[in-house]
C-alpha cells in the first residue's frame, strides 16, 4: 500500500470511529455510577448530568425504589404517570434505562407528548388502551392500535404519541424508556402554556384560527 493510500485509509477509519463515538451514548466504563445529590461528599465526580458517589460507598438502596403504587387519576385528564428514573433511583445514572407506571381512570387520557431522549415500549397490565404515534413531516402519518391486557407497543424516540383508556374500568400500563432521564414535553402545555407565553399572533397564524381562540386556550 502506498503511503498516500495508507494515510487516506487511516483518515477514513478515524472518521468512522469519530462518527460511532458521537452517534451513540458512550458505554459505561464501570459497573455503575450512583448519582449523588449532595456534591459536598468526598469523591464526587460529574458524569452524564449527575455527580457520582464513590463506588465503595454505594449500597442496595441506591438501586431500589419502593413507591410504584397506583397513581391518583382524579385530575382533569383522568391519568397519572409515576416515573422511576434517575431522580427516583440514583443507581440508574449512566445506565440508559428507566420506566414509568401509567394509571388511567375510565376514558382517561395521557395526552399527546414526546420524550426527547428516549424510545418507549409500553405493556398493558390491565384494561384496554388506544395508543398511537405520529411520524415526522411531511407525512405526519398516524400509527394507532387498540391494546388489551398483555399487549405491547413501541413509540419511537422524539415522536408525538398518546394513550387513552377506551374502557369503562380503570387501566394500568408500564412503560420502559431507553434513557435514565427521558424527559417529557406535553404538546398542549408547551404550545399554549409556555413561560413566557408564545405570541397569540404567532399561534393564530400557525393554527390558522382567530387570535381569540388562542387567547381562550392560553387562559
Residue 115 is labelled as binding a ligand? yes
How many other C-beta atoms are found inside a 10 Å radius of the C-beta of residue 186?
Answer: 14
Residues whose CB falls within 8 Å of the CB of residue 83, separated by 6 or more in sequence, listed in order: 98, 99, 100
Residue 141 is labelled as binding a ligand? no
Residue pair 119/183 in contact (Cβ under 8 Å)? The answer is no
Residue pair 183/117 in contact (Cβ under 8 Å)? The answer is yes
**What phi and psi values does residue 170 have, to the nearest 5 degrees?**
-65, 160
The C-alpha cell at 32 is: 455503575
- Cell match 383508556: residue? 165
DSSP 198: P
Residue 120 is labelled as binding a ligand? yes
Which of 60, 47, 147, 164 minimizes the C-alpha distance to 107?
164
How many other C-beta atoms are found inside a 10 Å radius of the C-beta of residue 53?
Answer: 26
User: What distance lies between CA 148 and its chain's CA centroid?
Assistant: 23
List, as residue ranges, the binding site: 110, 113, 115, 120, 161
List, as residue ranges, the binding site for Mn(2+): 113, 115, 120, 161
List, as residue ranges, the binding site for oxalate: 110, 115, 120
Amino acid at each position: 500500500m502506498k503511503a498516500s493510500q495508507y494515510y487516506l485509509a487511516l483518515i477514513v477509519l478515524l472518521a468512522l470511529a469519530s462518527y460511532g463515538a458521537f452517534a451513540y451514548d458512550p458505554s459505561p466504563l464501570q459497573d455503575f455510577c450512583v448519582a449523588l445529590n449532595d456534591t459536598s461528599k468526598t469523591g464526587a465526580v460529574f458524569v452524564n448530568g449527575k455527580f457520582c458517589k464513590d463506588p465503595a460507598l454505594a449500597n442496595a438502596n441506591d438501586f431500589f425504589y419502593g413507591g410504584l403504587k397506583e397513581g391518583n387519576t382524579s385530575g382533569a385528564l383522568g391519568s397519572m404517570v409515576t416515573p422511576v428514573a434517575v431522580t427516583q433511583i440514583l443507581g440508574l445514572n449512566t445506565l440508559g434505562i428507566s420506566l414509568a407506571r401509567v394509571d388511567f381512570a375510565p376514558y382517561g387520557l395521557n395526552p399527546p407528548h414526546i420524550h426527547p431522549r428516549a424510545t418507549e415500549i409500553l405493556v398493558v397490565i390491565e384494561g384496554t388502551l388506544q395508543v398511537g404515534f405520529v411520524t415526522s413531516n411531511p407525512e405526519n402519518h398516524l400509527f394507532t392500535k387498540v391494546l388489551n391486557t398483555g399487549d405491547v407497543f413501541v413509540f419511537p424516540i422524539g415522536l408525538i404519541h398518546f394513550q387513552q383508556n377506551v374502557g369503562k374500568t380503570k387501566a394500568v400500563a408500564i412503560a420502559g424508556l431507553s434513557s435514565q432521564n427521558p424527559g417529557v414535553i406535553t404538546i398542549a402545555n408547551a404550545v399554549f402554556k409556555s413561560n413566557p407565553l408564545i405570541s397569540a399572533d404567532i399561534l393564530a397564524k400557525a393554527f390558522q384560527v382567530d387570535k381569540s381562540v388562542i387567547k381562550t386556550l392560553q387562559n
